Amino acid sequence: MGIGHALLGLLESGPRHGYDLKRAFDDKFGHDRPLHYGQVYSIMARLPENGLVEVDGTEPGGGPERKRHAVTDARITDVGTWLGQPEKSEPHLQNTLCIKVVLALPTGRSAAGLLDTQRSEHLRLMRELTERKRHGDLADQLICDHALSHLEADLRWLELTATRLDLLAAEVAE
């Protein structure tokens, strides 16, 4: 329930409408993948059932009434528990790029070319993220640092794999 917990955390500063929550989430976390309004409203519709938010008021709008949501005391415990739990590490043991490299060899395609193309794409994305990081707020800088760290690890894997292509080709040929 990561997005739900993030929305609850945003409600800590005070009651908000779904539209305001979406904008606040997108401003802080949704640069690359903004939330859909329907996603926000469906999450907010479920949270009162769990006792985590309550409707603090309604206002007329251009369409349906706008509900203003506020957090409950149960939310504090729920978000506190969520923040204290470590995220599951994703070991990426089934990676599409790895599958492509292994399949390129027996089919006579260039695994080295595939690695070069991927390296170029990673470097392009790293330049883009570095530029974004220069102009972003601290939260966006942290997001970019996270992505850049993963791309750096991927580049190390690309280099390691390139040095092992002859051994991999012999093993795949068996």
Segment 101-136, tens digit of pLDDT: 888 888 888 999 999 999 999 999 999 999 999 998
- Report yes or no on 90 lying in a domain: no
- Report yes or no on 100 lying in a domain: yes
Integer angstrom CA distances of residue 25 from 59, 103, 161: 22, 40, 38
Same domain, 72 and 8: yes
User: From CA 145, how far away is CA 128, in angstroms rounded?
Assistant: 12
Integer angstrom CA distances of residue 60 from 53, 55, 63, 68, 70: 20, 14, 8, 11, 18
Which of these, 52, 73, 10, 28, lies nearest to 18 by C-alpha position? 10
Asked if residue 37 lies in contact with residue 22, where contact means CB atoms within 8 angstroms, the answer is yes
- Report yes or no on 157 lying in a domain: yes
Domain total in the chain? 2
Segment 42-72, tens digit of pLDDT: 888 887 777 777 877 777 766 666 777 777 7
pTM for this model (two decimals): 0.65
- Report yes or no on 164 lying in a domain: yes
